[in-house]
Amino acid sequence: MYRKLALILLLAFIATLIGCTKFYYQSPYAKFKHEQHVDILFQQQKDCFYCHKLPDIETIVKQGGEIKMTSELKIDGKCHTCHKDQATKVAKAPHSCDSCHENMKIMKPDDHSNNWTELHAAPAAADSKDCESCHKEWYCESCHTNTVSTEALRHSRSFKLTHSTEAYIDPGSCDSCHQISYCMSCHDK
């Protein structure tokens, strides 16, 4: 008798857990709570497939098979359509990327290799909008001044006279932009 009651309570507990987590999708790319979004999307006459593109859905339906949601649904930047793009913005995205994105490393483009900081000038000059899809202006300005030109670095005209003092006060400030080999090209003695 008690075993049956314990089993029923356990099953009810598991069913409750499944029900509570039903609309919470934990992507490796972003934290996402469906309950915060579903009503708004449906009010705008957008269904699940607005975000979730399933390439074989017609084939699956035509064959009479069951549609199965996988844990790796690609949403192809749909979040930014409502949270970032000015023309379609519904709500402001959080200031910090890691409010939504847990692991920024897996989102890093393939061309951002270890020496990307040395190689990014040409692609950035060709299409800065591509950079702006991920990086804010302050990101560039952490090494460059108000322009993305590599010629307009953040050093003042008197830098050659004052940089030893600045480097002494904050030794780590140089390597935020420069490799140690850059400093050693003059300071090798």
| Secondary structure of residue 32 in the 3-state scheme | strand
| Residue 53 pLDDT grade (very low, low, confident, very high; cuts 50, 70, 90) | low
**Cα(180)–Cα(140) distance, integer angstroms:** 20
Least confident span in 75-84, 107-116, 135-144: 75-84
Residue 146 has pLDDT above 70, yes or no: no
| Secondary structure of residue 37 in the 3-state scheme | coil
Q: Name the residue among 88, 94, 105 with its Cα closest to residue 41.
A: 88
- Are the C-beta atoms of 26 and 103 separated by less than 8 Å? no
- For residue 66, tell me if it sits in a domain: yes
DSSP per-residue codes, 3-58: HHHHHHHHHHHHHHHHHHHTTEEE-SS-EEEGGGTHHHHHHTT--GGGT---TTHH
**Cα(181)–Cα(178) distance, integer angstroms:** 8
- For residue 101, tell me if it sits in a domain: yes
Domain span at residue 74 reads 22-107
Summarize the confidence of residues 94-123 as an average pLDDT: 75
- For residue 178, tell me if it sits in a domain: no
- For residue 67, tell me if it sits in a domain: yes
- pTM score above 0.75: no
Give the contacts of 141 (CB within 8 A, at least 6 positions apart).
154
The total number of structural domains that make up the chain: 1
Residue matched to tokens 């050659």: 160
